[in-house]
Structures are given as structure tokens and as C-alpha cells.
Amino acid sequence: MIVYEVTLQVEPALAGQVEAHMRGEHIPAIAAAGCFQQIYFDRASPARFRTRYFAASQSDLDRYLEQHAPRLRAEFQARFPVGVTLTRETWSILQSWA
């Protein structure tokens, strides 16, 4: 299992708009691509969010990054050209405990 993680640090004045966009449009569009088995959207503080996308394989993540990410990233950037700082990381799950 591969976890693609995106962290958003948002200017406080934009936090509500960004959260609404992520929950109502951006993440549903990513889910519709069919590349991820699960998606979690988390909040650490009123202006810091994290999205974790769980892919069954590296090829599923690669398909998302090649076929879908450029368009979705451009749409997000057009909507929020300033005020949001993103970091992206890819994690490999080594083991999990229930």
C-alpha cells in the first residue's frame, strides 16, 4: 500500500473556503479518478490540513500523477493562487497494527 500525503498550510482568512473546496469539489474529483482505495482529510488546526490518499500500488499512484494530477493541481491553483502552501510526500506502509 502506498500513501500519498498532501499537507496544506492555509492563511487563516482562507481556511473556511479551502476546507469547503477540498471537501465539496477537489477530493471528490480525485476520488472519481479511481486511483485510490481510501482518502482521509484531516485538520490539525483551523488553518492546517492533511489529505492522505491510499493507493493499492505504485502504478495506481503513478496513473493518478500522470493522468489526473496536472489538471486538478491547475484547478486548485487557479482557485487559490495565493495563501496556501502545499507539501507532498509519498509513503510506503511497512506494517500496520489493528
What domains can be seen in the chain, in order of their start residue?
2-92 (3.30.70.100)
pLDDT of residue 53: 98
pTM (2 d.p.): 0.93
Per residue of the chain (98 residues), give pLDDT as tens.
999 999 999 999 999 999 999 999 999 999 999 999 999 999 999 999 999 999 999 999 999 999 999 999 999 999 999 999 999 999 999 999 99
Per DSSP, 24 falls in state I
pLDDT of residue 54: 98
Percent of the chain at pLDDT above 70? 100
Contact 49, 19 (CB under 8 A): yes
Q: Which residues contact 67 (CB under 8 A, 6 or more apart)?
A: 33
